[in-house]
Amino acid sequence: MAEPWDNRHPTRALSGGPATRGPAQRVTTPIVPSGSIAGRSLAAVVAIMTFLAALTTGAATMVVSAASDWQSDVGREVTIQVRPVAGRDIDADVRAAVATAQAGAGIADVRAYTKAESEALVEPWLGSGLALGELPIPRMIVVKTVAGATPDFAALRKALAAKVPSASLDDHRGWIDRMRTMAETAVVAGIAILVLVIAVTVLSVTFATRGAMATNRPIVEVLHYVGATDGFVASQFQRHFLILGFKGGAIGGGGALALFGILGAASAWFDRTPGGEAASALFGSSTVGASGYLAILGQIVLMAAVTALTSRRIVDETLKEID
C-alpha cells in the first residue's frame, strides 16, 4: 500500500518543501486552556476584594481629608476667655487682652465679642427672656492667625497671665490632637483592612493556581517533553492569571470608582441645600478627591500584580516538584 511518505523525503518535508500550504488555521489556541482555570470565580473574588479595598481607601481618604480641613480651620483660630472677677473691670480686662493679643507675632485679627454677643452665645443653653446681665458671663475674644504662621501661644499665654490674670487662652490643641489621632486611626485601620484583603486574595489565587496546575499537569508534562523550560511553562499560566487579575481588579475598582463618583455628585447637590452646608461643615466633604481616585486606580494594578505574582510563585513551586 502506498504511503504519503513513500515518494517524498522527510528532509524535504522538514525544509518547508514545495510549500503545499493547507488551509491550516493559525495558532490561536492558548497552550493552557482558559477553561481549565477557575477563571470566573477567581475574577469574582478579585473583583470583590478590590471593591472592598477601594471602599476602605476611599473612606480613609475622606476621613483624612475632613480631619485635615477641620484641623486647618480650627488651628487658624484661638480664643481668649476673660472671666468676670469681683473687683476688676471686665471691659478694661477685655481691652488689655485684645491689646496683648494684637501685639503678638503672626496674629491677623483680634475681635472681642460684645457683652450682648457673649450673652447670645449662652442663650441656646439657658433660654431667652432671662436677665443674663446679672450672671457672670465670660467674654470671648477671637484671635485669627496669619495663614501658615505659627504664633508663639506660650508667650501669649504668659503675657496674658501677667496683664490679665482673669484671661485664659484656648488654642484648641486638645481637639486638634484628638482629630489627628482619629485620622491616624482611620488610616491604620484602612491599611489593616487592605492587608487582610491582599491576604485573602493571595490565598484565593494560591488555591486557584494549585487547582489549575493539578488540572493541567498533563499539559505541563508534554511541554517538558517537547523541551519547554520552567520559565516558558510558568509564563503560560502567568498570562492567564494576570488577565484574570486585571479583569477582577477593573470590575471591582471600576465599581468603587462609579460609587464614589455618584456619591460625589450627590454630595455636590446636597451641599447646595441649607442642611447640606451644615452637614458638610460638620462631616467634611463626601468626595474622595483626585488622590483617592488615583489610589483606587493604583489598587486595580496592585490586585492584578498580586494575582500574577502569587500565581507565578505557586507555579514555580509546583514546577520544582514536577521533575
Partner 1 sequence: MIRFENVGLRYGLGPEVLRDLSFRIDSHSFQFLTGPSGAGKTSLLRMLFLSLKPTRGLVSMFNHDAATLSKDGRATLRRRIGIVFQDFRLLDHLTTYENVALPLRVLGKDEDDYRAEVVELLHWVGLGERINALPPVLSGGEKQRAAIARAVIARPQLLLADEPTGNVDPSLGQRLLRLFVELNKSGTSVVIATHDIALMDEYDARRLVLHDGRLHVYD
> In the stretch 30-49, what mask flags binding to partner 1 with x, by CB under 8 A?
-x-x----------------
Under 8 Å between Cβ of 314 and 206: yes
> In the stretch 189-228, what mask flags binding to partner 1 with x, by CB under 8 A?
-----------------------------xx-xxxxxxxx
CA distance 118 to 298: 51
One-letter amino acid of 121 = L
Nearer to partner 1, 2 or 162 (CB): 2
Contacts of residue 248, defined as CB under 8 A and 6 or more positions apart, other chains included, come to: 42, 43, 44, 45, 46, 47, 49, 50, 303, 304, 307
Tracing cell 521533575 back to the chain, one arrives at: 323
Contacts of residue 275, defined as CB under 8 A and 6 or more positions apart, other chains included, come to: none
Considering only the C-alpha atoms of the chain, give the largest distance between any 2 of them, rounded to a whole number of Å.
Answer: 132
**Contacting range for partner 1; rule: CB under 8 A; set: 20-28, 130-138, 192-200, 309-317:** 20-28
Can you tell me which of 23, 127, 133, 136 binds partner 1, judged by CB under 8 A? 23
Q: Min. distance of Cβ 312 from partner 1 in angstroms?
A: 17
CA distance 303 to 199: 11
Q: Is 128 in the site for partner 1 (CB under 8 A)?
A: no
DSSP at 170: E
Q: Min. distance of Cβ 232 from partner 1 in angstroms?
A: 6
**Contacting range for partner 1; rule: CB under 8 A; set: 19-27, 110-118, 162-170, 309-317:** 19-27
List residues near partner 1 by CB under 8 A: 1, 3-6, 8-27, 29, 31, 33, 218-219, 221-232, 323
